[in-house]
Every structure is written in C-alpha cells, then in structure tokens.
Amino acid sequence: MQTDKNTIVGMVLLAILFFAYFYFSNQQNAAIQAKEKHDKDSIELITQKQLKLRDTSAINKEFLKRDTADKLTAAGDFTTAALGTEQFTTVENEVIKITFSNKGGSVKGVELKKYNSSVNGKPIVLGANANDKISYNINTGNNNANAVTNLYFGQPSIIKNADGSQTVSFTIAAKNGQSLTHQYIIKPNSYLIDWNINMNGADKLLSNGNVNILWNWTTTQNEKSNLYERQMSNICFSEDNKFDYISSHNDHTLEKPAQWMSFVQQFFNTTLIAKNNFASGGVKWERSTEKDTTNTLAKIEANLQMHVPVNSQASIPMQLYYGPNDYHTLEKLNNGMDGIINLGRDVYSFVRPVNMYVIMPVFGFFAKLISNFGWAILLLTLFIRLFTAPLMYGSYLSGAKMKVLRPELDELKKKHGADQQAFAMDQMKVFREAGVNPLGGCIPALLQIPIFFALYSFFNSNISLRGESFLWSHDLSSYDVIAQLPFSIPFGFGDHISLFTITAVLTSFAISLYNIGNQPTQDNPAMKYMPYIFPFMMLFFFNRLPSALTWYYTVSNTITLLLQFVIQTYIIDHAKILAKMKETRTQPKKQSKWQERYAQVMETQKKVESMKNKNGK
C-alpha cells in the first residue's frame, strides 16, 4: 500500500501531540501527588507539634506545680511570702537613686547621679547585675530554712523624716507571729544607707543567734580601659580596726573581728558595714582575664558571720555605701574607709604622707584657684620643682663641672686605652682635685623616684580628675588618644597612641642627650646606649597611664631642660670654675677616708692585674 507524503506528516504530528499530551499529563499528576504529600506532611507536622505542645504544657504545669510546692515548703510559716511578683520602688536623694525590690526586701541597684560611665555615657549603676545580692537564711519552721532573697516582702512603707531623711521599710510576717523587717534610712546628700534588720521572734528565726551574710557581687567596667580598671580593682576591709586589702590573692579569711568589707573599682566602691562587727568569715574573688571580652572586672563572693543575743527581739544595725572613692567623702565616715584611696601602700607606703600632707592640699588649692585641672597640674609641678630647687641646683652645678672636665677626661681615656682601672684611678684623682662629686648628677634621677610614685598613686586615685578635659585629652584620669590602632602592640603599649606619652618620652630623651654632653665619652656599648633605653621603655609603660601623670612628666622634663640651659648659659661661669679648679690643684691635698680606701682598692686591683699579666707571659 502506498502512503503519500501528507499522510506521513500527519501521522508524525499526531505522534508528537500524543507524546506531548502524555508528558504534560504525567507532570500534572506528579505535581498533584507532590502537593497532596506536602499537605499530608504539613498536617502531620502540625499534629506532632500540637502533641508536643500538649506534652510540654503538661510538663510545665507539673514543674510549676512542684516548684510551687517546694517554695511553699521552704517558706514554712511564711507561706504568704512564698509566692509573688517582683516589684520595684525607687527612692532618691541629691546624689543617689536607689531601686528597691520587694523580693528579699533588698536594694536592687543604686544609680550615682553625679557620675556617668566612660563606656556608654549613662549614669553609673552599682549592683544591677542579675546575680548581685546580699542575703542570709532564716528558720521558717518545720525544720526548714530559706534565704530571705527567695521571699516576697509586702509593699514598702516610705516615711519622710523631719531631718530630710527617708525611711523605707519592708516586712514579712509568719502565721505564728514572727516577723522580719528590713529598714533603710536614706539621708540627704549621702552615699551611705543605714540598713537595720529587725526581728520579732529572733530566737526562733536564727540558730543560736548566728547570722550568716552571703554577698555575691560582680564589678563591671565604668572607665575607658577595661584592663587598667581591672588592675586597679581590689578588695578592701577593716579587720580589728586596721585597714587591709587583697589585690593579687584570690581569697582571704578573717582572723579577727571585721568592721566593714568593700569591693573596690578604680573610682567607685560598694561597701557593707557592720556596726557591731563581723565575728568571722572570708571573701573569694576572681579577676577577669585579658581573654574575657565582656565588661566584667571581677566576681566576688563573701561569707560574713555575725552573732546577736538570743532574745525574742533583735536588731542588726548595718550600713551600705554605694559611691565614689573620694578621699574627703570617705574620711568623714570616720571608720578607716579613707584607706580605700590608694595614696601609697606596701613598699610605697612612704609616699602616703607626702600625698596626704603635701600633694593633696597644694593641688586642692591650685584647683580652687584655677578651674582647669590641667593648669592646676602645671602649677603643682612648678611648686614641686621650686621645693626641690636647692638640691637640684647642686646637681646642676656638679653637671657643669663635669662638662668642664670632659675634655681632660677624654684625654685620659685615650691615654689609658683599655686599662679601665688606670683610667678610673686617674679620673678619681681629677675629680678630687677639681672638687667634683661624680654622683652629684644622680640626685635629680633619685629625687624623681619618690615624687613619681607619689604622683602615680595620687593621679590614679583622684576621682576629681575623672572626665576633666585638657588640651587634646578628654579625661585626665585616663590616657589620651590621638590615634587608634587596628591592632594591639604587646608589652603594655596597647591599641592606641597617647600624645602626652610621646611628649613625656621626647622631653626625657632630650634630657638624656643633654646630659650625655657632660659625661666623658663611653666605649662600653651598654653604657653608651643606656641613656636611650630608659625613654624607650617609658614609651610602653606610660602609654596606658593617666594623661594627668604624663602631662606632669612632660612639664617637669621641660622645666628641667630650661633650668639646665639657663644655669649652664647665664648663671654658671665656666671660666671661674676652671680657675677655681686650677687653684684647688695647687693646694695641698687631703683625702677623705673613703677616697683613701677607694685609692687603696684600685691600687691593689692594679697590682693584681699586673701580676696576672706577667704570669700569663
């Protein structure tokens, strides 16, 4: 049978249409099946979630039921205080704003109204961390005990007193007539809060009259440098009416009755004071490490025991201090808390009287005279240099004589070459003839040491410098920053560059260069480069220090350079010194005992060296 061309084309087209229809039909069926499966899976998933929610809800209900039962059991006779909702009450005076919580009848946090955080600019709040609390246990009956911070006190009573103070009282009562009251008294313009614990039925609430205070606290960053503020933090306390502190150790056990304990940051502290003393106890604390990227400085846990007479009625008088480390504020408390201000401790305790009776009064006077603290530091520096002028002048005079002698000493050095002993003997002879004290130039350096340590303590602890700007520094109590680095340089330099540190280092380097001109030429590489090493080390040590201190050092170095230039150029007559030295050399010489012994030692050493050389040959 013959098939024409049109028939073949038609059959091909019909086949294509058939396959296309079959393909699209399968695609639609597959999509419908997939949708049905998705809907089925969704329904099944929702059903499973609903079942899980029902199970979780049941578990939560069971948990809440058990938790409620546990709380009621622990509360014992104080069942009305077992459950509740935490509510807050705010009371304030001119300097602090206190937030109280009905849970525990406690202080939840204290805002210092006159101080802002250097981190976020907001008012500083002490004690606002979730785990910050001061608690103690009471017997609640049926052989149960509970922490007061687990109990909900009633609504507070707030009374304004005639003297301007405010009394805030929280009370819980038991069904058997026992009661517990936390009474707080806030006085005008005071950072100190009176806290009285009043008990009705104390012989039942306390075991053998013992009160065990548990104090958990976390200190957090308030200053620019977390690392530096952490280093300045410590634990201070008064034990047997004597101030003490721990800084590097992790714990301390009280061996004698203690009057107060304080958790101290660089410029603020929180202190618990027992008017009738803590009988025993101890404190553990842990500084955060450098790897800690949070703003936490340290975590503290104190356990302090007190004893009260076993009577039905008992009152435990205590005080809470939330405030600045201000010397005059703490001194008025008259309980030794002014020792918290580090004006010199341990091996540097000798500078504390200098700070208390010289630096602080003088700086306070200049600060009142001139409102800008930077210029007050400049005047303080001028005062210190004027006070030390007699000693400094003698050292400058000695330096001038050394400068006159330098050509002669250089000639001696060439003459003796490597024979250091011969050179030392002849050098001593020249000094003796010229009436020069070779150690006279060391006096300025030695004199700077106690002054530096005194001012280091003073500027680190002086809260009046906090937030005070001067020139390019925005805060004299911390380092200034002219450049922030994208990385941190080790060995204490940090991630910034301080301009006041640069000026202090440069002026110190200039003094070293100036003094080199007064000394004989050095062949010893170690001695030759020594004047450059100290300014270089200063660069790393000073970069984290308060700009008040580096500014003082800059001014002091500048004054030293000016004085040396003026004295050498306009006051000291070098020709007259040379003439006097020549006259001295013509006079009969009488050695001091020290010079005689030194000459004998040098002569003996020279003979020994000579014998060694002969034996060696």
| Range with the poorest average pLDDT among 87-101, 144-158, 479-493 | 479-493
Q: Is 380 in a helix, a strand, or coil?
A: helix
* Plot region of 244 (φ>0 → left; ψ -120 to 50 → alpha; else → beta): beta
Strand partners, 409: none
* Plot region of 173 (φ>0 → left; ψ -120 to 50 → alpha; else → beta): beta
Long-range interactions of 122-126: CB distance < 8 A, separation 24+: 124/222, 124/268, 126/268, 126/270, 126/322
For residue 105, give the nearest of 199, 184, 210, 16 by alpha carbon: 184
Q: What is the mean pLDDT of the chain?
A: 81
| Range with the poorest average pLDDT among 150-154, 181-185, 429-433, 524-528 | 524-528
Starting at the earlier edge strand, list the strands of the sheet with 179-186. Answer: 157-160, 166-173, 179-186, 192-200, 313-324, 268-278, 258-264, 234-239, 242-246
Average pLDDT for residues 503-524, to the nearest whole number? Answer: 73
pLDDT at 63: 45
Q: What letter represents residue 138's amino acid?
A: I
H helix runs in 443-524, sequence order: 443-461, 499-516
Give 405-427 pLDDT, tens digit per residue.
Answer: 777 777 777 777 766 677 777 77
Strand partners, 497: 483
Higher pLDDT pick, 516 / 123: 123
- Lookup result for tokens 């410590």: 234
Max avg pLDDT among 120-124, 265-269, 452-456? 265-269
pLDDT over 90 at 110, yes or no: yes
Ramachandran angles phi, psi of 301, nearest 5°: -140, 120
Rounded CA separation 519/281 (Å): 60
Q: Which fold has domain 79-341?
A: Beta-galactosidase; Chain A, domain 5 (2.70.98)
pLDDT over 80 at 401, yes or no: no
Rounded CA separation 355/445 (Å): 20
Give 482-493 pLDDT, tens digit per residue.
Answer: 888 887 787 767
Higher pLDDT pick, 588 / 139: 139
Give 296-334 pLDDT, tens digit per residue.
Answer: 888 999 999 999 887 888 899 999 999 999 999 999 999
| Range with the poorest average pLDDT among 16-30, 64-78, 253-267 | 16-30
The helices-and-strands tally (H runs, E runs) of the chain is 15, 22
Buried/exposed 211-242: b ≥16 CB within 10 Å, e otherwise: bebbbebbbbbbbbbbebbbebbbbbbbbeee
The CA-atom distances, in angstroms, between 144 and each of 69, 75, 78 are 13, 8, 11
Average pLDDT for residues 475-481, to the nearest whole number? Answer: 90
Residue 610: count of CB within 10 angstroms of its CB: 11
pLDDT at 439: 63
For residue 548, give the nearest of 464, 446, 484, 448 by alpha carbon: 464
pLDDT at 262: 95
Q: Is 220 in a helix, a strand, or coil?
A: strand
pLDDT at 440: 60
CA atoms within a 13 Å half-sphere pointing along the CA-CB vector of 169: 13
pLDDT over 90 at 271, yes or no: yes
Higher pLDDT pick, 266 / 42: 266
Give 362-377 pLDDT, tens digit per residue.
Answer: 999 999 998 899 999 9
pLDDT over 70 at 438, yes or no: no
Cβ-proximal residues to 24 (8 Å cutoff; 6+ apart), any chain: none
- Lookup result for tokens 């660069």: 539
Q: At what angle do helices 360-369 and 373-387 cross, to 10 degrees?
A: 130
| Range with the poorest average pLDDT among 177-181, 186-190, 506-510, 561-565 | 561-565
pLDDT at 58: 53
pLDDT at 434: 67
pLDDT at 1: 44
Give 121-151 pLDDT, tens digit per residue.
Answer: 899 999 888 889 999 998 888 788 888 999 9
Q: Does residue 505 contact residue 550 with C-beta atoms inside 8 Å?
A: no
- Give the start-to-end residue ranges of the domains of the chain: 79-341, 352-416+435-573
pLDDT at 165: 95
Q: Please measure the distance between the N-terminal and C-terminal CA atoms of the chain and give it in whole angstroms.
A: 136
* Vertex 125: Cα angle to 281 and 123 (nearest 5): 155
CA atoms within a 13 Å half-sphere pointing along the CA-CB vector of 480: 22
pLDDT at 315: 92
pLDDT over 60 at 3, yes or no: no
Instruction: Give the model's confidence band at 13: pLDDT under 50 very low, under 70 low, under 90 confident, else very high.
Output: low
What 8-state DSSP symbol labels residue 355?
I
Rounded CA separation 244/266 (Å): 17
pLDDT at 243: 94
pLDDT at 93: 95
Average pLDDT for residues 509-517, to the nearest whole number? Answer: 76
pLDDT over 90 at 81, yes or no: no
Long-range interactions of 170-174: CB distance < 8 A, separation 24+: 170/100, 170/102, 170/105, 171/105, 172/78, 172/80, 172/81, 172/105, 173/78, 173/80, 174/76, 174/77, 174/78, 174/140, 174/141, 174/201
Model-level pTM? 0.77
Instruction: Give the model's confidence band at 31: pLDDT under 50 very low, under 70 low, under 90 confident, else very high.
Output: low
* Torsion from C-alpha of 603, 608, 611, 613, nearest 10 degrees: -100
| Range with the poorest average pLDDT among 124-128, 163-167, 450-454 | 450-454
pLDDT above 90 covers a percentage of the chain that reads: 38
pLDDT at 529: 64
- Lookup result for tokens 């303590």: 457
What 8-state DSSP symbol labels residue 61?
H
Higher pLDDT pick, 203 / 71: 203
Q: Is 181 in a helix, a strand, or coil?
A: strand
pLDDT at 169: 96
pLDDT at 2: 47
Instruction: Give the model's confidence band at 247: pLDDT under 50 very low, under 70 low, under 90 confident, else very high.
Output: confident
Residue 459: count of CB within 10 angstroms of its CB: 22
**Which tokens is 232 given?**
């300045």
Q: Does residue 93 contact residue 187 with C-beta atoms inside 8 Å?
A: yes
